[in-house]
């Protein structure tokens, strides 16, 4: 996966000459910010950054402009080139563009400023190294980026989507290879309802966490740092210990009288990392204490040892958050429907999402293709939980997980 994103990054940064401008739309602004640090743009001579929506740009005819936009923004691009602000334009579309629209673009290039047009298949959002979210058409773009036509396994409910994807890929000149497994969220509605007690999972449950950024109390926290990557799948107690280790490291270094400039810079960065994670850790720990009783009751229900009176007591307790009570009611209703909880429990490690134990059973297949071992992609239609993502990548480090969104219980009880 690193090679996939690295190739895209290098291609974008290499385009244009001299002082360069980057034009983006609302979609690609997020895609690019997740993929390429601002410093890398600067290192590649990008010094101007403009939205395709801005029609009041300064005329700079000596500037080379690289345009990275979704196909939906092509009309805005046509408006731009009919009255160009820059000397030359290199256009990179994130997905397939309609041929008629490309002809219209060419006909309106009166000043012959468009030098190149490419379809770069970047219609997806990088959430983690092996976790991506896609919008409409994004699944096709992602598979095109991988460079092979996979064997597609799918749930019957997704037969139309699977057939459509296979048809589109079959028209490409790609070689066969890889596996794509397509699941609909309806195959497991329990997992999203359960509380997740791992660091990353709790952040997603209790904070506004998307595109590697946490928004909390008016502050933005970037979660691409090394500490988070090393500890995101750990329990809160383990994260507490790791934060304490960092604090002791900083205190020890502060006692050293002679530090190099590089060491001072590293110490400052480490202190900022500590402040960030102490703030996040404290906030989600406080939230976790509020739901401890309900979480314990959830697992009693899963183990088929529920105390009916205790469930009724919690559900009727107005002091308990309404959302939490609704969630417990939904989980309890699964028991009444004779949901087979035991298959999802392991006596040693607790709850195991169905995707791990039974996910690949009873799937349809379109066509068995060659070189299936090139890659394995799991696609969730209707959302994936961070618990499922974690369980999948911990078992198969080379797996790729994609979904139309990342979900928690908040998405199912409102």
| Confidence category of residue 347, pLDDT binned at 50, 70, 90 | very low
Is there a domain that residue 70 lies in?
yes
18: left (phi over 0), alpha (psi -120 to 50) or beta: left
Asked if 205 contacts 196 with a C-beta cutoff of 8 angstroms, the reply is yes
User: Is residue 253 very low, low, confident or very high in pLDDT (cuts 50, 70, 90)?
Assistant: confident
Residue 385 has pLDDT above 70, yes or no: yes
- 71 inside domain: yes
Q: Kindly state whether residue 193 falls inside one of the protein's structural domains.
A: no
Structure tokens at 283: 């906030």
Q: What pLDDT score was predicted for residue 203? A: 98
**42 lies in the same domain as 86:** yes
Q: From residue 162, how far is each of 106, 182, 183, 198, 301 by CA, in Å?
A: 34, 8, 10, 33, 36
pTM comes to 0.91
Q: Does residue 338 share a domain with residue 222? A: yes
Instruction: Provide DSSP, 98-117.
Output: -HHHHHHHHHT-TT--EEEE
The verdict on residue 206 lying in a domain is no
Same domain, 296 and 399: no
Q: Domain check: are 98 and 27 in the same one?
A: yes
| CB atoms near residue 308 (< 10 Å) | 8
**CATH no. for residue 15?**
3.40.50.2060
Q: Which segment of 15-29, 74-88, 239-253, 339-353 scores lowest on mean pLDDT?
A: 339-353
Torsion angle of alpha carbons 101, 106, 108, 109, nearest 10°?
A: 140
Q: Mean per-residue pLDDT for 118-140?
A: 95
At 43, is the pLDDT very low, low, confident or very high (cuts 50, 70, 90)? very high
Do 17 and 90 reside in the same domain of the chain? yes
Q: What pLDDT was estimated at residue 348?
A: 43
* In a shared domain, residues 292 and 396: no
List Cβ neighbours of 327 (8 Å cut-off, separation of 6 or more): 193, 294, 409, 412, 413
Report whether pLDDT(356) > 50.
Answer: yes
Structural domain for 233, as ranges: 216-342
What total of structural domains would you count in the chain? 3
Domain final residue pick, 66, 94, 121:
121
| pLDDT confidence band for 97 (50 / 70 / 90) | very high
**CATH number of 361's domain:** 3.40.50.1910
**Are 85 and 17 in the same domain?**
yes
In whole angstroms, what is the distance from residue 369 CA to residue 405 CA? 28
Q: Is residue 49 part of a domain?
A: yes
The overall average pLDDT reported for the chain is 92
Question: So what's the pLDDT on residue 333?
Answer: 84
Is the pLDDT at 162 greater than 50? The verdict is yes
Question: Phi and psi (nearest 5°) for 108?
Answer: -95, 5
Which residue, 322, 342, 362, sits at the end of a domain? 342
What are the structure tokens assigned to 310, written together? Answer: 């205790």
- What are 180's two structure tokens? 């794509």
Q: How far apart are CA 411 and CA 322, in angstroms?
A: 14
> What percentage of the chain exceeds 70 in pLDDT?
95
**Does residue 209 belong to any structural domain of this protein?**
no
Do 337 and 225 fall within a single domain? Answer: yes
Rg (CA), the chain: 25
In a shared domain, residues 223 and 114:
no
Q: How far apart are CA 184 and CA 158, in angstroms?
A: 7
**In the predicted model, what is the mean pLDDT of residues 315-324?**
88
pLDDT single digits (tens) 170-181: 999 899 999 999
pLDDT at 152 exceeding the cut of 70: yes
In a domain, 250, yes or no: yes
Examine the domain organization and report whether 228 and 338 are in the same domain: yes
Domain end, chosen from 342, 374, 391, is at: 342
- Cβ atoms < 10 Å from Cβ of 121: 20
- Whether residue 203 lies inside any domain: the answer is no
- The mean per-residue pLDDT over the stretch 282-294 comes to 93
What is the pLDDT averaged over residues 207-232?
94
Same domain, 129 and 105: no
Q: Are 165 and 276 members of one domain?
A: no
Q: Above 90 in pLDDT, residue 367?
A: no
């Amino acid at each position: 996966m690193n090679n996939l994103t690295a190739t895209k990054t290098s291609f974008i940064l290499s385009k244009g000459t001299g002082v360069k401008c980057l034009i983006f739309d609302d979609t690609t602004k997020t895609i690019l910010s997740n993929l390429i640090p601002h410093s890398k743009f600067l290192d590649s001579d990008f010094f101007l950054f403009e939205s395709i929506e801005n029609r009041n740009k300064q005329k700079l005819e000596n500037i080379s402009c690289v345009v990275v936009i979704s196909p939906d923004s092509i009309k805005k691009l046509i408006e731009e080139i009919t009255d160009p602000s820059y000397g030359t334009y290199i256009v990179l579309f994130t997905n397939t563009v309609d041929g008629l629209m490309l002809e219209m673009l060419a006909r309106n290039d009166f000043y012959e400023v468009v030098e190149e047009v490419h379809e770069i298949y970047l219609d997806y959002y990088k959430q983690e190294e092996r976790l991506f979210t896609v919008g409409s058409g994004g699944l096709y773009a992602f598979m095109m980026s991988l460079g092979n036509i996979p064997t597609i396994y799918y749930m019957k409910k997704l037969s139309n989507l699977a057939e459509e994807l296979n048809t589109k890929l079959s028209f490409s000149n790609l070689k066969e290879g890889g596996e794509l497994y397509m699941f609909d969220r309806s195959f497991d509605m329990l997992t999203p309802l359960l509380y997740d007690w791992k660091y990353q999972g709790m952040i997603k449950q209790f904070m506004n966490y998307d595109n590697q950024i946490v928004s909390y109390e008016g502050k933005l926290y970037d979660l691409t740092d090394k500490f988070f990557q090393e500890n995101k799948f750990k329990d809160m107690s383990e994260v507490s210990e790791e934060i304490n280790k960092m604090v002791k490291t900083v205190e020890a270094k502060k006692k050293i009288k002679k530090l190099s400039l590089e060491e001072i810079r590293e110490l400052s960065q480490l202190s900022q990392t500590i402040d960030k994670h102490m703030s996040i850790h404290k906030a989600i720990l406080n939230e976790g204490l509020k739901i401890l009783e309900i979480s314990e009751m959830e697992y009693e229900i899963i183990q088929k040892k529920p105390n009916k009176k205790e469930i009724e007591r919690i559900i009727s307790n107005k002091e308990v958050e309404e959302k939490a009570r609704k969630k417990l009611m939904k989980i309890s209703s699964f028991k009444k429907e004779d949901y087979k909880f035991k298959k999802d429990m392991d006596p040693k490690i607790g709850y195991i999402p169905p995707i791990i134990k039974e996910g690949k059973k009873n799937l349809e297949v379109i066509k068995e293709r060659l070189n299936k071992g090139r890659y394995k992609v799991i696609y969730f239609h209707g959302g994936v939980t961070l618990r499922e993502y974690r369980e999948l990548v911990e078992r198969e480090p080379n797996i790729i997980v994609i979904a139309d969104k990342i979900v928690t219980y908040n998405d199912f009880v409102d």
